[in-house]
Structure 1
């Protein structure tokens, strides 16, 4: 039997990730086995979860995945004592049009699993109004249950007392209140938090967060509020076809946005994965039959990528006879050039004609449903793929054959079609699941 709990908030930036990491590490330190998940499309938080728990975390997504896929992914917590699902954005925030089994909202996962929600509330600039917000979230949607609240960034004991009294009067349990504590703030950059593997002190930071939260939050009461959950082992049910039998995967600080469930699905289907580092001037495995360049932060390393001649020549040679695919950042590196935030133009591999720029940044964010106009590795023309797009680059040129007709979650056609030239393909969207 495991204890299942969803951690959410009224909005982004309130402290969900910090609380999730702190609870996970505190319970792990007490001898419990803790499994985390992330609701929604996010590459960075699951790596922090793994650092806190010692167990791989995966994403679950009600817009892109069916119930069978979500059940299969969640069943990895079958041997855990505590299972935490960290939400994204606000509790009910999703897209306007329903996807496979929901809108992508954290509330979808809470209702589907029948787990109560632990709310993180930041009452900065308010007092009793925080209780009105919590009560509104509690009552907004039948089927979503509220376990209680942890207050974050309270200004003073008097401030805490005002908010606590209002919440208790509304019948909402308060498990603790956290004063401001700069030492447990996670650094951020333009696509979210700085990645866990880039932070040498991540273990100490999580330990400090766990100590701080254990000092101010009733961990036993939180655990008792969780749902008793006894999942049945689920059969493999992840709708992802591997792009080849032996996959050369770019993997380093510039190419790190790969969903764990994707890699697991590839391996479960019998594919082998070998990794290489473009930043270390490495080439793809010559024994591989396909090369995959995931997204990440190539714009932060554009000069080095441009200068690594062995990587360029090796990738070009590979693409003469075998498919190469790039997602988002990988797509940009397959292109002709990338202009960084300082306006400096860097030559990329030139396998595609795409040219992008960060000199004038504009956020592109949202779910994507793509119908392939031409084949890409693992998928034939006509295949429907679900994914998401999140980047700040601007397209200066996209001259090659469009790879797909791409729609956003409202059904509107978007300009980021992806490209195909010879053996090279690329998309701005990150694949999450096949639409079957």
Structure 2
């Protein structure tokens, strides 16, 4: 069977896309359908929920950071062995940056490129017939993006549902379900956004409740029938980041968990082996690995335990004497000399680079980034450009004296200066790498 796909989109963040997507994924899995989730844009959190709902690893599809061949290959890989792929949009369906045709990062780019229909989730709280004007606007805004149907969310009553649904259907769009207001469907938030799937208490019960709601509220047969066949894709090799080594020691626990699934899969496809270790369990990177990678995460929440993890700290110092070590975002924070947590308490960190960071003195940094490498490191060779993004609230309170690692520009190419650090075999920055530029 050829896998079929559709996109779950909305006018804005907070409309209920994630809850609807997770519920649909689990509901389809209950039917014996082999379904896989995907997420547009740079998002670590939602693919974890998708994986929990389906039992299949999620994937990110980012039209700004990833070139067309890589996008094609990743969607093809997601479709292999699956019956359906449900792509959850980030933010609003058309929200992206003006960086060239169909390279905006918006989910609408994916809808147009892959001819994937859109299931539009509308939060209709505080409105009725106006919902039809919004739905109609989405239907005509981009002729290459097809709205297959509408799901009403946060509906107050049967009268409210009929007012919205009748107006939308009169405008020529089918309404494929209506979800009543339900605070139990909200995904809890934390200081950097949503709680990770692995941190959600009673995760299975929560996902099953969402599936129960979607089975009751949506016409799943019509939604599945609206999905379109997914065509064969291309070869990701030219645009995917090369593995940083043959055996990669990769930190993975509640302090370090933000590494894109496509990086892990493409590294493995290129022959690399991933060897996981847990700094929070006071484990050191295995000595038979030839590179160590500290991903992003929440080291500021566990700074005390990391400071007391003597085996981890000594093992990292020993590893860095002869082999490359790279950290991004949270991993970069851990490589510095200190982290100040949200309560203003300063904890010593690895000291392999000279900077110090603070979460008490918060400053949000968010956006796409183009990084030109100033030296060879785990993410590429000197002079190469890598695309990715930055998202953190930590501020640098002491820049230290290390040489910079990258020259950064935003998603439109506007220069932002030099960033990151390198000292001996150790490199790092707040920049999250996604694909070759």
Q: Distance between the aligned counterparts of 1:157 and 1:416, measured in 2?
A: 57
Shift of 1:96: 2.6
Shift of 1:3: 2.3
Question: Once the two structures are superposed, what CA deviation does each residue of 1:261-294 show, in whole Å capped at 9, x if it has no partner?
Answer: 1011111111111111111111111111111000
SS in 1 for 2:60: strand
SS in 2 for 1:121: strand
Q: Distance between the aligned counterparts of 1:349 and 1:416, measured in 2?
A: 23
Question: Where does structure 1 lack aligned partners over 5 or more consecutive residues?
Answer: none
Shift of 1:2: 2.5
Q: 2:90 aligns to what?
A: 88
Q: 1:401 aligns to what?
A: 403
Shift of 1:166: 1.5
SS in 2 for 1:388: strand
Change in CA separation of 1:330 and 1:149 when aligned onto 2, cut-off 3 Å:
same
Q: 1:221 aligns to what?
A: 222
Q: 1:387 aligns to what?
A: 388
Is residue 244–residue 378 contact of structure 1 (8 Å, CA) maintained in 2?
no
Greater mean alpha carbon deviation, residues 402-411 or residues 326-335: 402-411
- When the two chains are superposed, the root-mean-square deviation of aligned CA atoms in Å is 1.4
Change in CA separation of 1:348 and 1:415 when aligned onto 2, cut-off 3 Å:
farther
Question: Once the two structures are superposed, what CA deviation does each residue of 1:211-259 show, in whole Å capped at 9, x if it has no partner?
Answer: 11111111111112222x1432644435211111111111000100011
Q: 2:80 aligns to what?
A: 78
Q: Distance between the aligned counterparts of 2:67 and 2:417, measured in 1?
A: 27
Q: Distance between the aligned counterparts of 2:109 and 2:74, measured in 1?
A: 15
Question: Once the two structures are superposed, what CA deviation does each residue of 1:341-393 show, in whole Å capped at 9, x if it has no partner?
Answer: 11111111111111111112121111110101122125221011101101001
Greater mean alpha carbon deviation, residues 329-338 or residues 2-11: 2-11
Shift of 1:105: 0.3
Q: Say yes or no: does 1:250 pair with 2:251.
A: yes
Normalized against structure 2, the TM-score is what? Answer: 0.96
Q: Say yes or no: does 1:431 pair with 2:433.
A: yes
Change in CA separation of 1:37 and 1:211 when aligned onto 2, cut-off 3 Å:
same
Q: Distance between the aligned counterparts of 1:357 and 1:10, measured in 2?
A: 35
Q: Say yes or no: does 1:154 pair with 2:155.
A: yes
Is residue 15–residue 120 contact of structure 1 (8 Å, CA) maintained in 2?
yes
Q: Say yes or no: does 1:231 pair with 2:231.
A: yes
Residue-pair matches, total: 433
Q: 1:361 aligns to what?
A: 362
Q: Say yes or no: does 1:182 pair with 2:190.
A: no
Q: 2:208 aligns to what?
A: 207
Question: Once the two structures are superposed, what CA deviation does each residue of 1:13-37 show, in whole Å capped at 9, x if it has no partner?
Answer: 1111111111111111111111211
Greater mean alpha carbon deviation, residues 77-86 or residues 318-327: 77-86
Q: Distance between the aligned counterparts of 1:406 and 1:233, measured in 2?
A: 31
Q: Distance between the aligned counterparts of 1:187 and 1:433, measured in 2?
A: 30
Q: Distance between the aligned counterparts of 2:418 and 2:224, measured in 1?
A: 45
Q: 1:301 aligns to what?
A: 302
Change in CA separation of 1:109 and 1:249 when aligned onto 2, cut-off 3 Å:
same
Question: Once the two structures are superposed, what CA deviation does each residue of 1:66-85 show, in whole Å capped at 9, x if it has no partner?
Answer: 11111111112133222111
Q: Distance between the aligned counterparts of 1:27 and 1:96, measured in 2?
A: 36
Residues 25-174 of structure 1: pairs in structure 2 closer than 5 A: 25-76=26-77, 77-98=79-100, 102-174=103-175
Shift of 1:185: 2.0
Is residue 78–residue 232 contact of structure 1 (8 Å, CA) maintained in 2?
no
Shift of 1:309: 1.5
Q: Distance between the aligned counterparts of 2:241 and 2:179, measured in 1?
A: 41
Is residue 416–residue 428 contact of structure 1 (8 Å, CA) maintained in 2?
no
Is residue 78–residue 231 contact of structure 1 (8 Å, CA) maintained in 2?
no
Normalized against structure 1, the TM-score is what? Answer: 0.96
Change in CA separation of 1:356 and 1:212 when aligned onto 2, cut-off 3 Å:
same
Q: Distance between the aligned counterparts of 1:416 and 1:8, measured in 2?
A: 36
Q: Distance between the aligned counterparts of 2:132 and 2:167, measured in 1?
A: 6
Is residue 10–residue 91 contact of structure 1 (8 Å, CA) maintained in 2?
yes
Question: Once the two structures are superposed, what CA deviation does each residue of 1:282-326 show, in whole Å capped at 9, x if it has no partner?
Answer: 111111111100001111111111121211111011111111100
Q: Distance between the aligned counterparts of 1:205 and 1:3, measured in 2?
A: 26
SS in 2 for 1:27: helix
Change in CA separation of 1:230 and 1:393 when aligned onto 2, cut-off 3 Å:
closer
Q: 1:315 aligns to what?
A: 316
SS in 2 for 1:389: strand
Is residue 398–residue 419 contact of structure 1 (8 Å, CA) maintained in 2?
no
